[in-house]
Amino acid sequence: MKNNIKLWKKIVGCCLLAVLMYNCADDSYLIDGGKANPYYNGNMMQYLESRPDYFKDLVEVIRLSGMEDVFENEEITFFAPTDWSIRGSFNYLNRVWYRMGHDSIKSFNQIKPEVWREMLSMYIVKDKYLLKDIPQIDTTAIAAYPGQAFLSYGQQPMNMGVVYYDANNVKYAGARQIIYSYVYDFTIGDMKNAYVATSDIQPTNGVVHVLRLTDHAFGFEPYLFATKAINATIETEPDN
């Protein structure tokens, strides 16, 4: 009986190990940019197109916004929201729109291109900023370590910084993670933070930092995206 239990433990352990190894190998550069090759032989648009599992909706939004040339030719730092973030804000907009007495918004192209362009521009900073180029931020000591203020591609005040985590009770000795923030008020440090899950993916025209999908809404606040989309007017879905 004991031998059978030991055998089953070995079998289960091997299966779990195989699953973990497969998952790490499949998406290693999205999970840990420090271990995998960070370089992509193509422009930023091509990189995003190569990962429809994360960026299919994002690629559609870029095309609707008319910003393909920016992602193909300009040197930029892009804090990439995943499809989960975009869908979350789109679904929020739909709930608001439905409560206003309208039919559901069925496609992204019902939203005006200028809205997509304004929202996307929040995530773009001109020039290339790798993790090593970004100053430290400590959200508990913002006066001492504020990160650095930037103007986004659309001239929106933003902030980026690198969090230095503690390790073995040594302050700032641990892992590092980029935070990209929408600024409400610089004077009191009022910001909405988006955490980077994977940093320093480098296509030929800049760098992509992929935002964590679990807790980021496209536009930083769903109501901000919804308000701008509604104020710009929603296009009626054409009849087939």
| CATH code where residue 123 lies | 2.30.180.10
Residue 98 has pLDDT above 80, yes or no: yes
Mean predicted confidence (pLDDT) in 75-101: 98
Contact 213, 197 (CB under 8 A): yes
Across residues 114-122, what is the average pLDDT?
98
Tell me the two tokens of residue 226. Answer: 């919804």
Question: What is the chain's mean pLDDT, rounded?
Answer: 88
Q: Looking at residue 187, what is its pLDDT?
A: 77
Residue 120's alpha-carbon distances to 70, 81, 229, 236, in angstroms, are: 11, 9, 13, 23
Residue 110, pLDDT > 60, answer yes
pLDDT of residue 12 exceeding 70, the answer is: no
Q: What's the confidence (pLDDT) of residue 36?
A: 75
Q: Give the angle subtended at the CA of 191 by the CAs of 83 and 67, to the nearest 5°.
A: 40
Residues in Cβ contact with 134 at an 8 Å cutoff, skipping those fewer than 6 apart: 147, 148, 160, 161, 162, 178
pLDDT tens profile 16-60? 333 333 333 334 444 444 457 899 999 999 999 999 999 999 999
* Pair (20, 81) in one structural domain: no
Domain count, the chain: 2
Residues 159 and 187 in one domain: yes
Instruction: Specify if 187 maps to a domain.
Output: yes
HEC assignment per residue over the chain: CHHHHHHHHHHHHHHHHHHHHHHHHHCHHHHCCCCCCCECCCCHHHHHHCCHHHHHHHHHHHHHHCCHHHHHHCCEEEEECCHHHHHHHHHHHHHHHHHCCCCCCCCHHHCCHHHHHHHHHCCEEECCCCHHHCCEECCCCCCCCECEEEECCCCCEEEEEEEECCECCECCCCCEEEEEEEEEEHHHCEEEEEEEEEEEEECCCEEEEEECCCCCCCCCCHHHHHHHHHHCCCCCCCCC
Write down the pLDDT at residue 238: 59
For residue 53, what are its two tokens?
């599992």
Are 115 and 168 part of one and the same domain?
A: yes
Q: Which pLDDT band holds residue 188 (cuts at 50, 70, 90)?
A: confident
The neighbouring-strand residues paired with 163 are 177
Specify the pTM: 0.84
135 with 212, same domain: the answer is yes
- pLDDT(236) > 70: yes
In a domain, 237, yes or no: no
If pLDDT is split at 50, 70 and 90, which confidence band does 159 have? Answer: very high
Average pLDDT estimate for 94-101? 96
* Containing structural domain, residue 68: 37-231
**Which pLDDT band holds residue 186 (cuts at 50, 70, 90)?**
confident
Same domain, 169 and 108: yes
